[in-house]
Amino acid sequence: MKFVDVVVLLYAILTIVMGVLGYVAPTTGHPSIASLIAGVGIGALLLGALALTKTNPRAGRIGAAVLTLVPLGRFLPTFISKQNWYPAGIMTIAGIFTFGVLLGGHFIAMSQRKKETSA
């Protein structure tokens, strides 16, 4: 399994776990069904995108990158304004790292493709 795939897999698992924790052990005092649905849903879609990379790597990676940006849109503003480390900080750092790995993987693949076509 490639490094990019491992990072996406770990991010998907983290997203699912954080969604479940938002329901089971909420920080706001009441179970968050929205956290459960969003976390498990996005995590499952990330696992689907990861599976898609086996047959269509480009579509799977683009899907994973887009799905990585969704939680960032929710957690990044909260992390910046409130500097709340749980769950906003964890999800922000993990999301930025995952997106960076996906972006880096894209540039590496494009560089290799360019070398193959010029040779």
Residues 6 or more apart whose Cβ sits within 8 Å of residue 25: none
Residue type at 60 in one-letter notation: G
Q: Tens digit of pLDDT for each residue in 66-100?
A: 999 999 999 999 999 999 898 899 999 999 999 99
Encoded amino acid at 19, one letter = G
Instruction: Please tell me the pTM assigned to this model.
Output: 0.91
Residue-level pLDDT at 119:
65
Q: What ranges in 1-119 are assigned the alpha helix state H?
A: 3-24, 33-52, 57-82, 90-118
Pick left, alpha or beta for residue 29 (phi over 0 → left; psi -120 to 50 → alpha; otherwise beta).
Answer: left
* Phi and psi at residue 28, to the nearest 5°: -95, -5
pLDDT over 90 (residue 5): yes
Q: How many domains are contained in the chain?
A: 1
Domain that holds residue 75: 3-118
